[in-house]
Structure 1
């Protein structure tokens, strides 16, 4: 049950965007740039970083959403996402992605937890400075999103299919297109 009276029964951050529509565009622009813009990390890898941080933060809505978005774009699908959540060290991912997820986990604990050792390990695994930068920013942004969603007690559907259906739209159209569509319906 949300802690405040929302103007919509939409789950998670979507309900919050209905409550404060002026926040929706800048936050969606940030997510679009971080997770969908041209990058040497795939969209699926970046969604996986977002999902992983959300799992560490125990944000059910954000984890479920971004896990579905990652699964829709990664070979291995949801099984891979779950493997990463349960045991990143044993998951069948590249050493570079594993090192970047290590940085993301450090950011989730606090920015000062990112050490030279973690960064060097990522660089030695082939991560570029841009990939390290973007990993830190994705992790930091998702800590904010997770706290926003959970701090206001938003609803998180139990049905994985509700997230999977939205994933198809996110993958094909992106965050800004869905925002525009949602605002037209208002």
Structure 2
């Protein structure tokens, strides 16, 4: 049960963002820029970073949501699962393995991102911006994970919910123009 009253029909981060539209706006915009904006990393690759961070933080809602978004964007459902198990053996490029290693280090502590980890990524072809964005996506998803878990939001268990959410996330992170539908009363 959430620590504060939140809309029942908007579980996870969505209800929290609707609770404070003023704070939600810059968070959503930053997420849109980082995960859907111009980048040499594909949206699917960026969702893999969000998935790994959320899984390592053990935030079930975010893990399920971003796993499904990654699956849809990648067109298959094995890569995200394997990244969560062991990104070093997952079927991703050496550059992505190095960037995921940076994300794993930053998720634990920003101070764990060593010059050697950065050099590995550069040797695998990562640009300075890709390294920067990996660390920023990691920090952003640590914020989301702590927000969702710290407010004890509802975490649906129905996979169909995450299918719909993943489809919405694929399109981006901005709030729908007319907001979210209000749950009809019975």
What is the SS of the residue equivalent to 2:162?
Answer: helix
Name the residue aligned to 2:138: 139
- Taking structure 1 as reference, are residues 127 and 55 closer, same or farther at Cα in structure 2, changes over 3 Å only? same
Choose between structure 1 and 2: higher helix proportion: 1
Equivalenced residues, count: 182
Deviation at 1:8, TM superposition (A): 4.2
One of 166, 174, 177 as aligned partner of 2:172: 174
What is the SS of the residue equivalent to 2:74?
Answer: coil
Work out whether residues 68 and 167 of structure 1, in 8 Å CA contact, stay in contact via their aligned partners in 2.
yes
CA distance in 2, matches of 1:181, 1:47: 26
Matching of residues 7-86 of structure 1 within 5 Å? 7-75=7-75, 77-86=76-85
Judge which range, 152-161 or 113-122, deviates more.
152-161
Work out whether residues 99 and 125 of structure 1, in 8 Å CA contact, stay in contact via their aligned partners in 2.
yes
CA distance in 1, matches of 2:172, 2:138: 19
What is the SS of the residue equivalent to 1:73?
Answer: helix
CA distance in 1, matches of 2:176, 2:118: 35
CA distance in 1, matches of 2:122, 2:178: 40
Structure 2 length as normaliser, TM-score? 0.93
Structure 1 length as normaliser, TM-score? 0.93
Deviation at 1:7, TM superposition (A): 4.0
Could you list the runs of 5+ residues in structure 2 that have no partner in the other structure?
Answer: none
Could you list the runs of 5+ residues in structure 1 that have no partner in the other structure?
Answer: none
CA RMSD of aligned residues (A): 1.4
Deviation at 1:114, TM superposition (A): 0.2
Deviation at 1:17, TM superposition (A): 1.5
Name the residue aligned to 1:106: 105
